[in-house]
Structure 1
């Protein structure tokens, strides 16, 4: 059990559990340097340097930074040279306080300079890329922001590609993520609150939202859950997602994840709250309803009729991916009378030499395809796709020729897998993979009656889910017709004047009325112009 909380946001009260008292700095420079060195463990990447500037102070000074987390050129130009080479007029009887104020106010040509009075605060800034400046005789130290570690350049998102739309995605750097969001939302209403979560990792987490649009109740609940996290590490956004999500034991995700800045900005404009985590390109959006997972950024970058058609295809693919193998098993096992005679004879002829029941066939093919998909992901990028494609073709053809499975089952499993890839959200697609196996087992024992019963249980379960207080099936359940303009289909942008009430804060209208373009009046020819 951790003894202290690692999530503390701006303006938030500390959790009620016990927190060790921070250790203040000593007046002795050597004592402070030794204590920092002891806590870090004399690591080879930590640079300690003592120096003396006689015109500034007769007592020595020290600076500390971590090689690899700082920009070395910035350290040399903004910290070392000003402190070691600058000659100041000799001040008689200069004190440590005078030297401290002189350095802080006049000798550091850098934007961000902070003060630290405890070892814990100084170590936190040291790990964030700051250069510490310690003075003999002072219980306060300075920290200059010289962060400059290596980071990945901005590239196209790998998991959420679009044909038309922005081609840039988040990187693993928190400040780059907030800057990309600021570039899209150039408004003073954008708020960014930062947290440090993880006792050992001290991972930076940014809560981003629009003041006046995001729900105050949702914000309060998200802050409470972030502050309640007690863990030693946060390495990816899923850590945060599992700690704060609703639902408990449910296969359905209640928080979206995206690596697209435009998708995050669009969600924030809808009243959602974004969570950007340092060290991962995947940001979170909450609260999220079931229908949010079927919306793609590209829906708003092309005509509404095409977008509506594609969205209906996604919903159809959802049901196909979840139900097709189960329906095949149920019909071929219990309800053969539902099939046309010609199709029934064809299926019977295919299964004549197959030694396994339909359930065993389906499980064998589904597990084989999942193994091939995982192998394609884990293999080196140059050979992964080739192995997955060749493996699927060779194994499928060989299994049919060997009489282990029927050709119809290969078609069913293949079309099911392709339908699963149509869904834009990987989180909901993975949920369907789990539900599909349960459906197949129920279909093999209870037939269509079992499938319908399980669908009813699943629907009741979804109706009871909440995402930070928002009903998971809203605005369908509870039904709000005026907010259905962007659920199953997308109406033209000029007709979506109201934000969905489920995510709403104070502001309700997103654009003016009567935005529909009117046809231009017939042009009149100038007087005196002859008709050709």
Structure 2
């Protein structure tokens, strides 16, 4: 059904606006009439969503123009173009767009005798300033992060990528919230099929509200029944800009600082933005540390439970005697002991997150230390179990992606149950379906375990280790193979020549 066109009579349009807003107290509407008292112009807006200074100046100029006759029905559009910043004035021809522009923080101006309205973008109101990201901190790198305002977030991307090929495609999703969702990609680098598929999935969303990018992620992601995330979320503009330059597509949602990027692979969650700002040798070392921490966070409690319960012969004699002495007075079996400790740590972690910032970290750290020490002294758990659970938690914090660390936390409990029931055979029985799921999973057509399965040699330069920048001449291969060239082929020879000069300073 086509939206209803605006009326040529100003009184009808004003009545329609009042009925649509149901006389809401934050809806403002002002009318100006001619000498006969008939309405000529009307301005409508939502208080708190517009810049009050610009609005006051606009209304003062408009009132003065009506009084001195410089503003009339015939020249109102020209007058607005002269008094409102260039590019912020749009023409509206139907009732739906008029209401939407007002609810979006624009100032709508209606004229008697015209079936068109004009919307001025002078949005304002309270906004959070650009601050350092709280969830993905770095030592070296940009300190700015996305905010809840989508216009600010798009501007942050534009500052990073100053190219006409950076394309932004916007739409509104949500029957009631009408949340603005923008798809950003670089034409010529991003795969057109991926862009079309993401746009198709976004257009197919039919829901009442979109309040955060997590709504979008659950609606359009691949692999619904999997603990592993198939979309990457970040609040760092530099991370999104780097992803766009590698052919990924970004999804920005108004009202949240977290931006989604897709398609992604498993190894993307092991990388940090800081890997590309410091030396390649240190970045490679830290990346290997993260890979090892992922394995420890997933498997360490399970292996401890399996070896102490079923496979004591695998332990050295001295270690076995020490563990046996610690567990001599422990009333719980290893599985229940580990479960109680893990659940206790999860409770403390959640409490530290929900508590006020002033006392949250202190309560979580002191609570963990006091409870752990008291449990060991009371003989409820062994000291070795406290060490295992603590090191597992620390390893979990090493992962740079929060959603991947959450997946590890869930899978760890499953593997612990299997280890306590069947030993190492149970751990292996749990790992096999996890690996099978990882290999079979896709993210918008891209294999999740690329470049290991399927194997791609060219992508290994930025996988477990990161080679120097002058070695990464091409972008990672995702779907298509168009425009893979990242830098000049002579860049490597320049770097090698610089290395020769370093060996012989007199050369």
Contact 1:214 1:505 in 2 (8 A): no
1:86 aligns with 2:62: no
Distance 1:89 1:291, change over 3 A: same
Contact 2:31 2:39 in 1 (8 A): no
User: Which residue of 424, 436, 443 maps to 2:400?
Assistant: 424
Distance 1:297 1:106, change over 3 A: closer
Deviations 1:213-271 (A, max 9, x none): 00011111001001001111111110111111001200000000000000000111111
Structure 1 match to 2:476: 500
CA distance in 2 between counterparts of 1:130 and 1:442 reads 58
Deviations 1:296-347 (A, max 9, x none): 0000111111110100000000000000000011101110010111111111
Structure 1 match to 2:50: 70
CA distance in 2 between counterparts of 1:503 and 1:180 reads 27
Which structure 2 residues correspond to residues 37-48 of structure 1 after superposition, within 5 A? 37-48=18-29
After TM superposition, give the deviation of residue 514 of structure 1 in Å.
3.5
CA distance in 1 between counterparts of 2:262 and 2:28 reads 42
Structure 2 match to 1:490: 466
Please list every run of 5 or more consecutive structure 1 residues that lacks an aligned counterpart in the other structure. 1-19, 526-532
User: Which residue of 430, 433, 438 maps to 2:414?
Assistant: 438
Structure with larger RCO (C-alpha < 8 A, sep 6+):
1
Distance 1:51 1:110, change over 3 A: farther
Contact 2:266 2:448 in 1 (8 A): yes
More moved, 381-390 vs 506-515: 506-515
CA distance in 1 between counterparts of 2:124 and 2:51 reads 4
Structure 2 match to 1:49: 30
User: Which residue of 258, 262, 272 maps to 2:248?
Assistant: 272
CA distance in 2 between counterparts of 1:117 and 1:146 reads 20
CA distance in 1 between counterparts of 2:116 and 2:505 reads 77
Give the TM-score taking structure 1 as reference length. Answer: 0.90
Contact 1:196 1:204 in 2 (8 A): yes
Structure 2 match to 1:348: 324
Which structure 2 residues correspond to residues 40-189 of structure 1 after superposition, within 5 A? 40-52=21-33, 59-78=39-58, 80-86=59-65, 96=73, 98-103=74-79, 108=84, 111-189=87-165
More moved, 128-137 vs 180-189: 128-137
CA distance in 2 between counterparts of 1:373 and 1:154 reads 28
User: Which residue of 336, 340, 355 maps to 1:364?
Assistant: 340
CA distance in 1 between counterparts of 2:207 and 2:15 reads 29
CA distance in 2 between counterparts of 1:167 and 1:53 reads 55
User: Which residue of 7, 15, 38 maps to 1:34?
Assistant: 15
Please list every run of 5 or more consecutive structure 2 residues that lacks an aligned counterpart in the other structure. none
1:415 aligns with 2:391: yes
Deviations 1:372-409 (A, max 9, x none): 00000000001000000000001001111111111110
Distance 1:88 1:385, change over 3 A: closer
Distance 1:333 1:191, change over 3 A: same
CA distance in 1 between counterparts of 2:420 and 2:188 reads 52
Deviations 1:128-160 (A, max 9, x none): 211111122322211111111211111111010
Contact 2:473 2:485 in 1 (8 A): yes
Distance 1:259 1:105, change over 3 A: closer
Structure 2 match to 1:200: 176
Distance 1:159 1:89, change over 3 A: closer
Distance 1:249 1:523, change over 3 A: closer
CA distance in 1 between counterparts of 2:89 and 2:126 reads 22
Contact 1:83 1:107 in 2 (8 A): no
Deviations 1:257-299 (A, max 9, x none): 0000000001111110111111111101100000000010000
Deviations 1:448-471 (A, max 9, x none): 111112211111111110000000
Distance 1:48 1:88, change over 3 A: closer
CA distance in 1 between counterparts of 2:441 and 2:453 reads 11
Aligned residue-pair number: 501
CA distance in 1 between counterparts of 2:457 and 2:372 reads 46
Distance 1:51 1:289, change over 3 A: same
CA distance in 1 between counterparts of 2:145 and 2:34 reads 47
1:233 aligns with 2:209: yes
Contact 1:254 1:466 in 2 (8 A): yes
User: Which residue of 458, 473, 489 maps to 2:434?
Assistant: 458
Root mean square deviation of aligned Cα: 2.1
1:514 aligns with 2:490: yes
Distance 1:443 1:108, change over 3 A: closer
When you count helix as a share of all residues, which structure comes out higher?
Answer: 2
Distance 1:402 1:501, change over 3 A: same
Structure 2 match to 1:309: 285
